[in-house]
Structure 1
């Protein structure tokens, strides 16, 4: 997805008044886990949430089964302080209002008695209010209150950058997963709430509302979402190569049935590709879900938001649908341990797109898409920022929010060249599932860092890769290949900001043959056969390196 600038300074409520901006804490995700948040394991959450399109407000109650990892005299949740908290109960006992406070987005709850490691406690939080309106979903997130072409309510949430605390009390950190979660969404009659996991039941209430009860296992925090509209459902079944049957379900606006059926067929093709290339679909016991949304898209677990308007493409696939579906593996199954490693989601997921095109339509499509992505790379800041820092996705000058896609994909492209097909794809399987032989029904999400990937690749290739990872992930500038030739002597030398020698081997093509030149210490000199004319360096363009022509074209506008 490309970056877009927000056009509004503040969101506007249903009554035309400027809503307050997000608190500094709520506007950020993945703030360090400390205090009670570090010691709370959310075993189960039941979130009951009533959505009122007329007032653009919600009324909700969250019930949390918490297991303590350590001793604490208080609990803490992340929650946007714009919400009014009506009550909090601990193990069924109501707390006095003085027992909790939420001045900045960290909801602190004083316990009646201290808890020890291993203790279980049930917390019930009732709250209500008008959630933050998205400035430019999905890049600047919140609630989207829109209308369909038939002027019916069309509502969505997109909170990846800012976090789950924008509309429900949670632990807003990538490493904090929930065991199981039931979401009961109540909406006016005539609307449908498409949700995470599997649909348990639909209840028609006596007050002209309907409640949709969804149940999900192992959901990520920002992957919990609301999508509400006058939806119709198009579905089909996919027979997996792993022996299970996966429902493909698309909730779309009325009139889009034909396009939805076409994209459902595409989804079956994506499933075939991913299960062949990486491994089994992680959530086959629930669904492979899509929902049409008023914003562009987001990888909500088992219910990917789709707003690409069914646009046809000469590439023969829907790039947005393919990208968001890749996140079921690289975001929802493999989850970065902190936002610093977000390239694991976006870069690997982006690389899956040209890989799919090469698998489906041929190598020309792979090469052309890689070239398009290569021109987007800025490399002005490290792809993996220092631990403890929170990179700004929307900082156009830094360009990190673009590099995690394009540079991440190109690093994968170069890794494929360096370690070979027989290593890179099995390594991705192990990285994604924590095992070499994932089996449906035995899969659970796993948190990963960039260094985890390095260790796996080193184990499987038998080679030290510190030099590769330092140069590409922890240094901003791309390595440069300096080439000089005198007669039959050709000298190549890598220059990198890394203190480690960049030892990427280089392919040469001349006289109708191709040879791979090792670069021990980051340099090599070879003697060419007498009379050798033109020599192509890296003829298949497999190495991510500084390209002066791209720089010159970018600077010229």
Structure 2
């Protein structure tokens, strides 16, 4: 069915059904249900798939408002008599239609952000229904994009409108009706963004067409299976820099960078850098996942975000001392770890951020060698807090990300990267990178055209790593991901004997082998039952535990330093 994409372009902004009472979009007010992304799904959502969405959005910078029309094809997994979407209740809904017939107001309700629509007649499993939602209003203004999300209404240095969305933590429902859960994707998204003439709307997928009419420009983008929080708008007086990349896999695709006027030289430089990133990722992980669309980047008024095929970039072209744009490389890593592989639950978010963060030290190792890798890993180690589990068995709220006491929003990055580092040291490069490849692509032999975006879990990654390494890793995953505290290595010397013992919050024996440097000897201690010993030969021999820094473990010196930094910060308040 051809979607009715352009029907909403002239939607009025004052609509009949009143929105929920929010004092001011700029205040950061948000309904509790809307604030949580990835909330547990009820039976209705679980029974829905959305093979197609035609979404039209008109963005008005003068009134800082949007009007939208979402035309969904909904397919039932099991019989349905209602359908459900998430939509910020600050928006007014003017019309809901099912199969082209307008439904009465009594047939639907938006209860605090959960929009439930009764169907005129039930549909059976595998049947489809067309659902159309017309809405408008002033979207939430991001209090602190990209971390605390919403719309960013800004101005370029030349005073032109410059607009962006960033909704990872709070979800897609901040500006379009969606299934705000990581396990749900739209099969094909046809997105039409209408903006005042003179502005460009850069978004996901491939640009199908541009239409000019009455002082407005409509940009039609088409994306396959976008990650819901990765659907985004980048709007500004952009100029386009682009180049073609020829992949080691035999295909080629465009790199496109929408940048502000006057930044052409910087944009060209970053595109050249992107060639290097692609070479690294394709040789280390596998083929670029969205080669039939594009590698896309847009300059934004906020720091950055990993929107699928249109990464937001606001790092102002500042290179790190290591000679690369660390933020751009991190966000680009998410094309593999977030957009191709999406965690099935919020508690699996470390699969995005932990591996995305680990790609920076890995890139430095690939580019500059072991010293650069080790220095980067040591920098990350000092930022680990271990107050709550990284990936608990039970689901967690997305609001945990911003919990200043729990520090989960930091640990999924830095502890996640160190878990990857330690696992690599334990099972070896061959098994580690084979595990990553299978996890990302769902197969060991990815090639352009033979894979699609997929969902994954921590438990699945454990199973894959066990198969690739040929060893049980339950103790590893339990200690590092299901528990909060880090394992402690106890060393006690009795004469010439050094006795080692692991203590862990896990009920399972922590069987991490330990290398010990004894003078000029390197001794490998298996620690199969969590204990081991080393003959020092001489009672006064100097020894170093884990001399190559391969094991993530409790470090009292770092804990003391972190407390000192925290006390200084409090004293300065």
Q: 1:418 aligns with which of 416, 426, 429?
A: 426
Aligned residue pair count: 543
Question: Which string of whole-angstrom CA distances, capped at 9 and with x for unpartnered residues, describes residues 409-443 of structure 1?
Answer: 00001001100011100110001001000010122
In 1, Cα distance between equivalents of 2:468 and 2:392: 26
Instruction: Report the counterpart of residue 568 of structure 2 in structure 1.
Output: none
In 2, Cα distance between equivalents of 1:535 and 1:12: 62
Q: 1:326 deviation in Å?
A: 0.2
In 1, Cα distance between equivalents of 2:538 and 2:198: 80
In 2, Cα distance between equivalents of 1:253 and 1:505: 52
In 2, Cα distance between equivalents of 1:51 and 1:530: 75
Instruction: Report the counterpart of residue 549 of structure 1 in structure 2.
Output: 557
Instruction: Report the counterpart of residue 383 of structure 2 in structure 1.
Output: 376
In 2, Cα distance between equivalents of 1:334 and 1:139: 21
Q: 1:12 deviation in Å?
A: 5.1
Instruction: Report the counterpart of residue 6 of structure 1 in structure 2.
Output: none
In 1, Cα distance between equivalents of 2:494 and 2:392: 41
In 1, Cα distance between equivalents of 2:248 and 2:32: 47
Q: 1:535 deviation in Å?
A: 1.2
Instruction: Report the counterpart of residue 404 of structure 1 in structure 2.
Output: 412
Q: 1:301 aligns with which of 295, 308, 330?
A: 308
Instruction: Report the counterpart of residue 481 of structure 2 in structure 1.
Output: 473
Q: 2:49 aligns with which of 38, 41, 44?
A: 41
Aligned partner of residue 404 in structure 1, secondary structure? helix
In 2, Cα distance between equivalents of 1:386 and 1:523: 27
Q: 1:556 deviation in Å?
A: 2.1
Contact 2:28 2:143 in 1 (8 A): no
Task: Give yes or no for the alignment of 1:334 onto 2:338.
Answer: no
Where in structure 2 are the equivalents of 1:71-470 lying within 5 Å? Answer: 71-205=79-213, 207-391=214-398, 392-470=400-478
In 2, Cα distance between equivalents of 1:259 and 1:316: 14
Question: Which string of whole-angstrom CA distances, capped at 9 and with x for unpartnered residues, describes residues 200-233 of structure 1?
Answer: 111111x100000100001111110011000011
Aligned partner of residue 529 in structure 2, secondary structure? helix
Question: Which string of whole-angstrom CA distances, capped at 9 and with x for unpartnered residues, describes residues 422-466 of structure 1?
Answer: 110011000100100001012201111111110001111111111
Question: Which string of whole-angstrom CA distances, capped at 9 and with x for unpartnered residues, describes residues 142-184 of structure 1?
Answer: 0000111011100000001111111001100000011110110
Contact 1:259 1:310 in 2 (8 A): yes
Contact 1:137 1:158 in 2 (8 A): yes
In 2, Cα distance between equivalents of 1:261 and 1:371: 32
Question: Which string of whole-angstrom CA distances, capped at 9 and with x for unpartnered residues, describes residues 237-282 of structure 1?
Answer: 1110000102111101000111111110111100000000000000
Aligned partner of residue 230 in structure 2, secondary structure? coil
In 1, Cα distance between equivalents of 2:317 and 2:179: 35
Aligned partner of residue 215 in structure 1, secondary structure? strand
Q: 1:532 deviation in Å?
A: 6.8
CA RMSD in angstroms comes to: 1.3
Inter-CA distance 20–367: structure 2 relative to 1 (3 Å threshold): closer
Q: 1:530 deviation in Å?
A: 4.5
In 1, Cα distance between equivalents of 2:302 and 2:445: 37
Q: 1:312 deviation in Å?
A: 2.7
Contact 1:11 1:133 in 2 (8 A): no
Aligned partner of residue 25 in structure 1, secondary structure? helix
Instruction: Report the counterpart of residue 3 of structure 1 in structure 2.
Output: none
In 2, Cα distance between equivalents of 1:62 and 1:556: 52
Q: 1:311 deviation in Å?
A: 1.1
Question: Which string of whole-angstrom CA distances, capped at 9 and with x for unpartnered residues, describes residues 314-355 of structure 1?
Answer: 110111100000000000001000111100000000000010
Q: 1:529 deviation in Å?
A: 3.1
Task: Give yes or no for the alignment of 1:482 onto 2:506.
Answer: no
Q: Which moved more, 1:509-518 or 1:266-275?
A: 509-518
In 2, Cα distance between equivalents of 1:410 and 1:389: 21
Aligned partner of residue 521 in structure 1, secondary structure? coil
In 2, Cα distance between equivalents of 1:388 and 1:243: 41
Question: Which string of whole-angstrom CA distances, capped at 9 and with x for unpartnered residues, describes residues 92-135 of structure 1?
Answer: 11111211111310111111111111111111111111111100
Task: Give yes or no for the alignment of 1:502 onto 2:519.
Answer: no
In 2, Cα distance between equivalents of 1:11 and 1:225: 25
Q: 1:313 deviation in Å?
A: 2.2
Instruction: Report the counterpart of residue 18 of structure 2 in structure 1.
Output: none
Unaligned runs of at least 5 residues, structure 2:
1-21, 566-573
Aligned partner of residue 559 in structure 2, secondary structure? helix
Unaligned runs of at least 5 residues, structure 1:
1-9
Q: 2:77 aligns with which of 41, 47, 69?
A: 69
In 2, Cα distance between equivalents of 1:449 and 1:87: 38
Question: Which string of whole-angstrom CA distances, capped at 9 and with x for unpartnered residues, describes residues 277-314 of structure 1?
Answer: 00000001101111000000110000000000111321
TM-score (normalizing by structure 2): 0.93
Q: 1:395 deviation in Å?
A: 0.8
In 1, Cα distance between equivalents of 2:500 and 2:430: 28
In 2, Cα distance between equivalents of 1:141 and 1:474: 28
In 2, Cα distance between equivalents of 1:388 and 1:492: 35
In 1, Cα distance between equivalents of 2:433 and 2:479: 22
In 2, Cα distance between equivalents of 1:308 and 1:126: 36
Contact 1:42 1:67 in 2 (8 A): yes
